[in-house]
Chains A and B, each alone.
Chain A
Amino acid sequence: MSLLGDPVAWVSELTRPETWVLTGSLAFVGALFGALAVGALGPTYFLFLVGLAGMYALLSFGLNAQWGFTGLINFSVAAFFGVGAYGAALMTADASPIAGGFSPLVGLAVGLLVALVLALLIGIPTLRLRADYLAIASLGLAEVVRLVVLNERWLTNGSAGLRGIPSFFVGWPVLSSFPETMPGLQITVVPGSPVVLETPFWEAALNVVVIAAFTLGTYAVLRRVHRSPWGRVLRTIRSDEDLARALGKHTYAFKMQSFVLGSLIMALAGVFYTHLNLYVGPGDLDPITTFYVWVAVILGGSGSNRGALFGGIVVVTIREGTRFLNDLAIPVDPAPLRLLLIGVLILVVMRYRPQGILPPQRELIWPAARRSTEPATPTETGVRARGTSGSTADADGESDGDTATGVIDDEVEDATGGERNG
């Protein structure tokens, strides 16, 4: 059922968590545009935040492809992000100690290539072993990469970091000079506080174009593979690797593919970050990034691409939203409060909804095959919940309007799963 073809049917087939997330997201976007209109939120800063949200969504996609799909525990998200960022920066920056001045496309290729090599280096010895070996090795890898970047000054400029990074579209026709050629605009929505759009705004807008392309492209790929037989083998490995082996699946190869795929996506986020921030330093490889991304994936619902997208945006909202707490006269420093808030949030989610806010809602079967075998059947409704609660279904796709009841207490009443209420 497509949104454009039949919007009413599309909405009526949404499961309860989907309805909640959709409603909440629309309200949030509405609030943001309201803040933009009255001038409470600067448009350039807003676009920067959109870029940041997209970057976190990408990182979450990457981790979800490893942990959510296959159950691989990767604690070096920051390292893969970092090699993507440094790979791109070292190739493109004027001040690069090794090469520099190349096209950002070269930077993109190098960032991804370094991530690929790193993923293979860590994957080859650990992926044949039990899951915990990768976890431990990746924990060490993150520190090794960070310390190498910090100390190998001839290669990375050390703690000074890398400056003089061009924007992503440098050297492209039209787009490279687009921000300068765009006229300054002044839009008055609310009298007295006009919204001014100038060169920095258009630069930020181009960044949003880049991250939108990266994110949508990645999402399209992940959505396809997640519902494929390939994704099904990964999910089997996550539940029970021995079962997959007994059924003749070469699990090591599948785990490696999943790990490399996720690592490349993380590096892609790093490449974008380089051209968003125009400066990279060893601080960007701090393990806190890994922590945030894990929170995003668990919060969104492990194994769900949309959940990862949602979780990534929520984490950025909390991270950046707490800056506005400065404006309120509260007697505590908001920076540590941010971590506290995220901690509380993850506790609440784990307590009441261990499978995450938006875990996979529907059967994952290659869509074209499903259409050809059962043309007349309406879509299967939600049947699943993962996580530790032992609960079964959390979604029943009702169309009868009782979606306004709580999202948290549905574990009991929906335990039969698969059946429509109406």
Chain B
Amino acid sequence: MGETADPDTVLRVEDLQKSFGGLVATDHASFTVERGTITGLIGPNGAGKSTIFNLISGFYEPDGGTVAVNGTDVTGMEPHEIADHGLIRTFQTPRKLDGMTVREAMLVGPREQPGESFRALFTRPGAVTARESENLERAAQMLEAFEIDHLAAQPATDISGGQMKLVELARAMLAEPDVLLLDEPVAGVNPTLAKKLSEQIRRLNDAGTTFLLIEHDMEFVMELADPIVVLDQGHVLTEDTPEGVVNDDRVVDAYLGGGA
């Protein structure tokens, strides 16, 4: 604690450490994500990108260091508490919701639904109905904005991998995050859909959502993200503009496995 709450910083990672046995996955990593940006997080395989995501979103407990969302120290909190502070994440492999339609899967997204309280189902059914109608409306609009409204009644497990990524992004947006962490949003997605995803992320960013995204597709990330944080062997190598990153010898070395 004790840090000054900088209104322009939506996510601050300071001196984060995590090891698994003898393997140091995150090695004193520090970086910040400014509000309104699309920040890229890149690095060679095994650089610790996904570990950092898990540490930030509360799925792993850090060995040391702090994570602050919107100026609040969330280190060691449960994922759902961190979500309450405005940080939502997606997963690298799309998560499947068995037995749900796309529309139902979308409706899991909105937070603080009165209908998620068992008691409210019986004591305040009116409030449940009102919010559920509103959420159905929002889900329909969101699907429309993502141009996948024709999928609404499809089984959520019966759509293509790329469409699942779109649904996942759309659902995360229904949670109205301040900052959304995307773990490889276009991995395994065909180029047309990837372009669409890129447009959607840009559109949502213009509307006020901050993004932090891990991506291996360099073209995708260079075009979309600014600034870019480069991670190597668990620590932050540099944080720079896309041009700065591609012209940085240390980055090239890290990717080519030089960096000894």
Chain A residues near B (Cβ < 8 Å): 224-225, 228-230, 232-233, 235-236, 238-240, 242-251, 257, 261, 303, 359-360, 363-366, 368-370, 372-373, 380, 383-386, 392-393, 417-418
Contact = CB atoms under 8 A, between A and B. Distances in A.
B107 A418 contact: no
Interface string B160-188: 00000000000110010000000000000
B89 interface: yes
B191 interface: no
A240 B153 contact: no
Contacts of B128: 228-229, 366, 368-369
A243 B100 contact: no
Contacts of A240: 95-97
Given A246-B91, A249-B80, A363-B104, 11 more contacts: A230-B115, A230-B121, A240-B97, A243-B91, A246-B57, A257-B118, A261-B118, A365-B107, A368-B125, A368-B128, A418-B155
B43 interface: no
B78 to A, nearest CB: 7
A249 B103 CA distance: 18
Contacts of B115: 228-230, 366
Given A225-B121, A250-B78, A257-B118, A232 B136 contact: no
B200 to A, nearest CB: 18
Contacts of B118: 225, 230, 257, 261
B97 A235 contact: yes
A25 to B, nearest CB: 24
B198 interface: no
A303 B104 CA distance: 15
Contact of A248 (B91, B101, B111, B137): B111
Contact of A369 (B96, B100, B122, B132): B132
B55 to A, nearest CB: 14
14 contacts: A228-B128, A229-B116, A232-B100, A239-B99, A243-B95, A246-B57, A246-B91, A247-B111, A249-B116, A250-B78, A373-B136, A383-B101, A384-B99, A418-B101
Contacts of B125: 368
Contacts of A224: 121-122
Interface string B183-211: 00000000000000000000000000000
Given A243-B95, A246-B88, A247-B111, A363 B101 contact: yes
Interface in B43-99: 57-59, 78-80, 83-84, 88-91, 95-99
A246 B171 CA distance: 11
B158 interface: yes
B19 to A, nearest CB: 22
Contact of B99 (A225, A247, A303, A366): A303
B99 A365 contact: no
Contacts of B155: 383-384, 392-393, 417-418
Contacts of A239: 95-100
B104 A232 contact: yes
Interface string B115-141: 111100110010011111101110010
Contacts of B154: 383, 417-418
A247 B108 contact: yes
Nearest to B158: A392
Interface of B: 57-59, 78-80, 83-84, 88-91, 95-101, 103-104, 107-109, 111, 113-118, 121-122, 125, 128-133, 135-137, 140, 153-155, 157-158, 171-172, 175
Contacts of B153: 363, 380, 383, 418
A64 B171 CA distance: 27
Nearest to B105: A236
A116 to B, nearest CB: 14
Contacts, number: 145
Contacts of B103: 363, 365
A372 B135 CA distance: 12
Contacts of A230: 115-118, 121
B116 A244 contact: no
Nearest to B136: A373
Nearest to A245: B79
B30 to A, nearest CB: 24
A386 B99 contact: yes
Contact of B157 (A372, A392, A418): A392
A372 B107 CA distance: 16
A366 B171 contact: no
A392 B133 CA distance: 27
A248 B80 contact: yes
A286 B128 CA distance: 42
A251 B90 CA distance: 17
Contact of B104 (A225, A257, A359, A364): A364
Contacts of A225: 118, 121
Nearest to A419: B153
Nearest to A246: B89
Given A229-B113, A230-B121, A248-B175, A366 B129 contact: yes
Which among B59, B89, B99, B135 has the highest number of chain A CB atoms within 10 Å? Answer: B99
A417 B116 CA distance: 28
Contacts of B58: 245
B90 A246 contact: yes
Nearest to B57: A246
A393 B101 CA distance: 11
A232 B128 CA distance: 13
B108 A373 contact: no
Contacts of B104: 232, 363-365
A247 B175 contact: yes
Q: Which 4 A-B pairs have the closest CB atoms?
A: A248-B83, A229-B115, A369-B132, A243-B95
Contacts of B116: 229-230, 233, 249
B126 to A, nearest CB: 9
Nearest to B121: A228
Contacts of B80: 245, 248-251
A97 B220 CA distance: 75
